Amino acid sequence: MNLKEHFNQQVERFNHPDFITNDPISIPHQFTRKQDIEIIGFWVAMLAWGQRVTIINKSNELVDMMGGKPYDFIMNHRDIDLKPLIHFKHRTFNGDDTLYFIHFFRNFYAKHESLEEAFTKFRKSDDNQMEEMLTGFNMFFFDDENALQRTQKHVATPARRSTCKRLNMFMRWMVRKDEKGVDFGLWKNIPMSSLKIPLDVHVERVARKYGLLQRKQRDWNAVLELTEHLQRFDPEDPVKYDFALFGEGVMEKQEEKF
């Protein structure tokens, strides 16, 4: 069996509805409204580091604090409704970050229907569009007098050569669409072929084992290198192999850390 066949088998194994239950993507899967999925999907992705069970528990806590209706809460809350959220915390993400996220989303959705617009507005080319969109989105997200310096570490950018793991995972959730139903495929104006691999410790380790990643630094260029290798297996949907790399990595380590 060649490497492509092996990875295709692993994709079939892990790209399955059973994957949802123990993964942070289970949180946005609680919702059907597009804006709810976008808001909580983005938020959960930004919180996704550490043990998966902890990420899921903290994300459910956040949903509960918003009365189970993220979009409704963000657009219609009163100041007094924000008091419990001041105490929300996950690792280094705290109440100040939480309040800024709410502030951004309220201002954005007052003028736009979908968060997709906050990314596609910065696309200038076909060849480099994901880097352009992620870089532009980061600048847009923090282009506000209420933006906090400390919050910037929670929303990455290729401009700082970050792997942008959590943003790339969120983009996979929103853009990828197939018959398996794990990813949402809500966004229609960004091609799956432009997605980049979410490079976490599991994906990196397995990619190096198979010789798909040679770059020593874990940075944006490593993301590009690995994604280019995966595009040779499937140029239209290279990031489906995230399921294979991540799934195999978790099985090898028998742990659930991002």
pLDDT tens-digit series, residues 85-108: 999 999 999 999 999 999 999 999
In 3D space, the residue among 253, 229, 50 whose CA is nearest the CA of residue 242 turns out to be: 229
CA atoms within 13 A on the CB side of 71: 18
Strand partners, 93: 90
Whether the CB-CB separation of 172 and 230 falls below 8 Å is answered with no
Using a 10 angstrom Cβ sphere, with 0-12 exposed, 13-18 middle and 19 or more buried, the burial of residue 152 is: middle
pTM: 0.95
pLDDT (tens digit per residue) in 57-76: 999 999 999 999 999 999 99
CA distance 82 to 86: 7
Q: One-letter amino acid identity for 73?
A: F
The tokens describing 184, both together, are 């949402």
